Each structure stands twice: as structure tokens, then as C-alpha cells.
Structure 1
Amino acid sequence: MSDALNTGCFLKQLWNEPVLGVRPLHPGYEDHASEVWQVTTSSGAFVLRRSLVAGIPEVDFWQGAHHLCGVDASTLQDLRQVLTLLSGIQGVQVPRVRGEVEVEGQVYLVLEKLDGNTICSFEDQPETVMEQLGEMMARIHAQTFTWCGHPTGRVQKPLEDFHAALLDTMQMLVDRFYPAAEFRAALEHARAQLEDVPVTEASLVMLDQDPSQYLHHEGELSGLVDVEAYVIAPAALDLIGLEYVLDRKAARAVKQGYCRIRPFPDLSRVRSPYRLFCRLLSIQGKVPLEDWMNHPAFLDGLD
């Protein structure tokens, strides 16, 4: 726990009321870029967050996200802007920012604590929760952009340049982290597959789709809480990353919910190259490449 957080003086800079307890919240995976606590006061519970990194961490995920779209987990201002964007979309529940303070050069963000518990697995969730997830993703994807890059607008690339930028990022990741022949061969295959595939629109997309990013409460999807890896990219990238944490039943419910809001994107032409990108980011760890690429296409054939 941060030394500053152990001092009553620090907590008094954030709350003018008694602090009853402080509990660290761990995301459940390694290489996370933020330290997060639940702080309980006499008026309720809040979430306190600070960045753990300075600059771009030397790991595949953060290097790839930065190279492609300018993601920088060291600044909480980006997180604040992404939360503001998402909170403006009807039907999307994200924490509201309640305050910010700088102590000894470190910025801390105070966030609303949403009701609910972290989802550990989508496979044991009720169909209603998964349909609500599909609806939420569709509402987010319905907000379209004429460029790709970072939600703050700090990085903007023409839509027609996205696949070239994606291939350049994958080349960097292969050269730096995955020099084995199987990854180089997969990259060349992806290059050929994307040669004539246009990108016609982009949306807010979460690069690290995982159940742990969401909350559930009393049989309902109650919130989206981890948004620091959102970018502006084709919606198909979001859904292809999600496919790895679904089973067939959950996938059917997600697709049903999504299609209530907007047409479901065609994933078939980009599934293989986008899957390779997700693997190079290690969004679900160091899965053997052949197993990763041959994962069932759960979101196909469910109409």
C-alpha cells in the first residue's frame, strides 16, 4: 500500500469526513498499470486510483497499445477523458469522477463506487447479463468516428491507414517480443489477409476485454470499471477480443443483445489478423499461438 495512503493527513485532503476503512483492490492479472483502493467513509464507499507507471511499461500490451493508438497509462487525465466520453452514452454505466488531488507529485483520482461485484467469468452469468453486455457494447460502438487513434484525440489516423498502422505495430511486437518463426509466419499471413480489407468506421474499443472489467449486481450488469485501454478502432477488434472469454451460450446472448441496438459487424475477414494482434498483446496471457488462432469462432453462425 502507498505510504501516503497510510497517513490520515493524506486522506483528509480527499474527504472532510471520517474514513472508516481502506481496502486494496487487485485486478486479478499481472502488469496492471494502476493501484486501486476502496475507501469507505461515513457517507459511503469510493474508489481511489493512482498510476503505477512512469512512461510506457516495457511489456507487449502497453508497448503495442501505445504504438498503435497512443495509449499512455501513466496519466490519469486520459482515464478521466475516456470516462467522460463513455458516461455520455445512454445505457453505459461507468464511475463518475468525484475529485482529484496531487500528493508528493503523485496524482490520485477519486471515483464513484458502482454497485456490484467483479465478474470472474462470463460462462456462469445469466443470459440477461450477457445480453446487457451485448447491448452496452453496441451502444458504445454506435458512437462512430471518422479516424482511428486515442479517445482524447491526441493521436488521430485516417481510417484508410488503420490496417497499415496495425501491421506496423504487429511487426514491432514480433521484432521485440516474439521473434520465433511461427509468429513471423503468422504476421506475413495477416499482411496478405488485410491487403484489400477497408476500414469504413471506427468506435470506442477496449483492447483488453475481460470479465474483470465489468460488475454484476442482483442478476444485472451494473457497470464497466476499467477503461484505461480504450482506443478508437474498428468495432470488430472489440468483439474478436471478447470472443476469447465467452462460451457458445454466452456468445449467443451477447449477439442477441448487440443486434437489438445495431447490426452485428462481419468478423470473418478480419478475425485471423485481429486475433494475431490480440495474442501479440497477450490479452489473455501467453497462450500457444496455434491454440490461440484456432479458438472457436463463437460469435459466428448464431443468427
Structure 2
Amino acid sequence: MFTYPLLTPAEQASLPTLVAEPNPIQAKFEDSTHQLFYCQTTDGEMVLKVCHEATIRSSHFWLGANHLFAANFPDSLGDIHLTHHFLQKNGALTVPGFVAANAQRFVLTRFLAGKDLDAELIADDWVIQLAEHIVKLHQCTYTSWGQLHAPKLPAIEWSGRLHQTITFLAKQKGTLIDKTLLAEVLANAENIRETEFVPMMLDLRWDQFRSGTNDLALVDLDAFVIAPRALDLVLLEYVLTPTQLALFKQHYIQTHNWPEHGADKSCYQLLLFLMNILGETDLEKWMQQI
């Protein structure tokens, strides 16, 4: 008899019966907050994602997401089925079928056939599909922000909470953050007045996607929040190459305007750096990249 790795007997009692020993899927980053396993069951191929609780507690990404957006991770895994349903209804990409989840512990989803993307080999069609997906998500607008399924934080609190989060994360980095830059960013944060909030994937990177024959699929769904549209676009400017960004914009501006960067730019740049979004360790290089 086969068992699901790292799960208690009670947790796996109602899960589909395994027909082979689950195989570990190699983590893409040393600080990965989850352990992944490929599982063959009587109900088909699946992927088990188990929280690595010690890593989550020390993750700058989740420290930032929980502090700023009240993301409540990993407790929020208990509601991740709602994220699957939301993206199936409001997004433009394939997402894995939801099977089961347990708050703080694990998610079990259906396996999506295809290949993991290589950030160095991104097809134009995938950029267009991503643009179509973001365009659809940005059509869902909110006047409050926070958790994807319960954005209860009022717009007036954004600047103050952003200021607090940048201060909090900068302390975690210690002496690595230039004090002059930090003071300038914090001053700018006080003047930000965001009024438009949209669904955002905080950890959007190409390695979170898979490609089928032609279709792009999104496989990692646990970091969606309701955030300022400007923050989402700043992240995209980091993820996309200049050529990809130009192609993305061609499709995006058919439906939405592309806002000019203001005082928010440096704030959002530093926030993303402190959350270790793309793993960059050179702050000066990061701030000059866009």
C-alpha cells in the first residue's frame, strides 16, 4: 500500500488511492517554501504540494505578503479552491483542477501535461497569452485590497501599510539597504494614493507556468492578492524583456491604459526587491533595471 509523503493518516484518508510510490519533484529554488510530489492515483495523475513550514516562517516573500496584504499564508490554503474557481472564471489561462487542500499543510491538484518554461526561451505567443490573461484579470477592479477572496482593506490605508511593510522588511535585511534610498522611498510611500486594485499574482515568474501543445498553463496559484494595478505592472516590467514588454503592451493597451510611473515606482521596486521576488541581490542594479 502506498502513502502520500509527509501527510498524516487522517490527512490522506479521503484522498484518491495511490497506485505507485509518489516521486519527488525537484525544487527550483533553494528557499522553496513547498515540497512537490508527482502522484499516480486511481483517479489520474496529480501533484501534491506540501508546505515547508520552517522555510515559510523565514521567507521574505511570505513575510511581505502576509504583512502587507494580510495574505494569511499558509492558513489561506484552506480556501485555495476558491482561487482555482476564480481564475477559471476570470482568467485566460489553464489552471490545474483542484482536488483537495488542508490549511497550513498541503494542496493536491490534477497534473497538467506539458513542459516547464525556460525563461530564456519564451515564445511570443506565450507573451500574448499572458497579456490576454492579465487584461482579463485587470477588468476585475476593486476599491479595497488585501486577500483575493476578501479584500477588506480600504484604499486610504494603502500608503501607511506599504510604509510599514517596507520598514519591516528592510529591518530583516539589516545593513544591506542604503539608508538614503530607504528614507527617500519611505517619504514617497507616504504620498501614494491608490484607488484602483486588481487581482495580482505576487510571485509571477515564467517558471510558474507550463506549456502544452500551444496553450500556456498557470500551475502555482497560492500567491494571488488584490493589489494596486501599478504594482502588478511594475512587476511585469521586471519579468519581461524589453522586447517582450513591448509586445505585452501592444495587447494590454487595447483595453487598459498604461499609467506613467510616479512616486510609486521606487516604492514598488524596493518592495519587490525586499520580498526577493526574482532573487536579485544587487539593489543598485535592481533599482536601475526599469
Q: TM-score range by the shorter chain?
A: 0.7 to 0.9
In structure 1, what is the Cα distance between the partners aligned to 2:70 and 2:55? 12
Note if contact 2:95-2:219 (Cα within 8 Å) is conserved in structure 1.
yes
In the superposition, the TM-score normalised over structure 2's length comes to: 0.86
Query: Do structure 1's residue 96 and structure 2's residue 97 form an aligned pair?
Result: yes
Aligned pairs (5 A) from 1:1-303: 4-5=4-5, 13-16=14-17, 19-20=19-20, 22-41=22-41, 44-53=44-53, 57-75=57-75, 76-100=77-101, 107-121=105-119, 123-153=120-150, 156-180=152-176, 182=178, 184-221=179-216, 223-295=217-289, 297=290
How many angstroms does 1:234 deviate by?
0.6
Query: Percent of aligned positions with the same letter in both sequences?
Result: 27
* Alignment length (residue pairs): 286
How many angstroms does 1:191 deviate by?
2.6
In structure 2, what is the Cα distance between the partners aligned to 1:226 and 1:20? 24
Note if contact 1:118-1:214 (Cα within 8 Å) is conserved in structure 2.
yes
Inter-CA distance 117–21: structure 2 relative to 1 (3 Å threshold): farther
Comparing 264-273 with 44-53, which one deviates more in the overlay? Answer: 264-273
Inter-CA distance 285–273: structure 2 relative to 1 (3 Å threshold): same
Note if contact 1:148-1:202 (Cα within 8 Å) is conserved in structure 2.
yes
In structure 1, what is the Cα distance between the partners aligned to 2:230 and 2:167? 21
How many angstroms does 1:32 deviate by?
2.4
Inter-CA distance 156–6: structure 2 relative to 1 (3 Å threshold): closer
How many angstroms does 1:55 deviate by?
9.8
In the superposition, the TM-score normalised over structure 1's length comes to: 0.83
Inter-CA distance 43–196: structure 2 relative to 1 (3 Å threshold): closer
Unaligned ranges ≥5, structure 1: 298-303
In structure 2, what is the Cα distance between the partners aligned to 1:240 and 1:211? 16
The residue identity in structure 1 corresponding to 2:93 is: V
Inter-CA distance 22–160: structure 2 relative to 1 (3 Å threshold): same
Q: Secondary structure at the match of 1:283?
A: coil
How many angstroms does 1:124 deviate by?
2.0
Unaligned ranges ≥5, structure 2: none
In structure 2, what is the Cα distance between the partners aligned to 1:36 and 1:30? 13
In structure 1, what is the Cα distance between the partners aligned to 2:135 and 2:86? 15
String of CA shifts for 1:229-267, please: whole Å, max 9, x gaps. Answer: 222111221221232232112112222232344333434
In structure 2, what is the Cα distance between the partners aligned to 1:268 and 1:229? 26
